Amino acid sequence: MRNKPQKVPTVRLRNSYITTIVSISLVLFLLGMLGLLLLNARTIGDYVRENIGFTVILKRDVVEADRAAMEKLLEDHAAVKEFTFITAEDAAAELQQDLGENFLEFLGENPLHPSYNLKLNAAYANPDSLALIESFLMKQDPVHEVSYQESMVHLVNDNLRKISVVILAFSILLFVVSIALFNNTIRLMVYSKRFIIKTMQMVGATRGFIRRPFLVRGLMHGIIGSAVATILMMGLIQIAKKRMPELLVFTDMQTVGSLILLIFLMGVLLTWLTTVMAVNKYLTLDRDSLYY
């Protein structure tokens, strides 16, 4: 019968620690998924911009030397990520397949020109840069015409800008909520020890001495919570790869590794910061205020 009263606080203390770690883990997991969303949103936006159709149509009688010079110019141009050369014959075969009939028999000759299909770097896939690139290419002798859908460029950039604003606003809101939950979790943990803090202070313990065990315990909770959040995130990524692989087509191991490192850093930093703030609060309170 004597041991029973001693076990109850121990069980409650263990449950309190478990609750704290679970809360920290869920908040860090939420922040990790938020980071994954933001990184993927940027990568997807760059992918869409880089795949905007941009075609450089050459003159029909272009010679091999001019074509080689043109390819060297495209390779050296900062805006060009990659390009593909399409002969007039290949263009005709592709158009014939799309139409489902042989238009060459009707026309008697191939009206199409050789061309280059360009993929531009995302930073240059905007109306102003494309206009400058078009002007530059049109000055080259082998070039007959430059073709791209200007309205599509405006539409893509406008939509990506709107989506980015929505994602950013949502991310800021989610981040603020996550930090508030994180802060409340740590404050509740310290709140349960407020009388111990005041007792230690009254017997002459320094602030650094009082804070030390709370910081050590808080950092341990942050590390364990970060590890649990990492396991949860990796598990969710593996499930998504098996069931919905298209959602993670832009996610590489470098991105995942950066997120894991970020989760650990945030877990340690936020736990340390919120623990210091919570302990300092009760160090400055008078004894009567601890009951409210």
Taking the CB of residue 199, how many other CB atoms lie within 10 A of it? Answer: 13
* CATH T-level assignment (fold) for domain 53-148: Alpha-Beta Plaits (3.30.70)
Under 8 Å between Cβ of 121 and 79: yes
Return the structure tokens found at 241: 């790869």
The Cα–Cα gap between 262 and 251 comes to 16
pLDDT, residue 7, reads 46
- pLDDT per residue, tens digit, the chain (292 aa), is 444 444 445 555 566 667 778 888 888 888 888 777 777 777 778 888 888 888 888 888 888 888 888 889 989 888 898 998 888 888 777 767 766 666 666 666 767 788 889 998 988 888 888 889 989 989 888 888 888 887 778 787 788 788 878 877 877 887 787 777 777 777 777 777 777 877 887 888 887 888 888 888 888 888 888 899 889 888 888 887 777 666 566 666 777 788 888 888 888 888 888 888 888 877 777 666 666 5
The Cα–Cα gap between 86 and 71 comes to 12
pTM equals 0.61
End-to-end Cα spacing for the chain: 34
pLDDT, residue 291, reads 60
Q: Give how far Cα 84 sits from Cα of 65, 74, 80, 145, 233, Å.
A: 17, 11, 11, 16, 39
Can you give the residue ranges of every domain in the chain? Answer: 4-47+157-291, 53-148
Under 8 Å between Cβ of 69 and 58: no
How would DSSP label each residue in 147-197?
EE-HHHHHHHHHHHHHHHHHHHHHHHHHHHHHHHHHHHHHHHHHHTTHHHH
DSSP state of 245: G
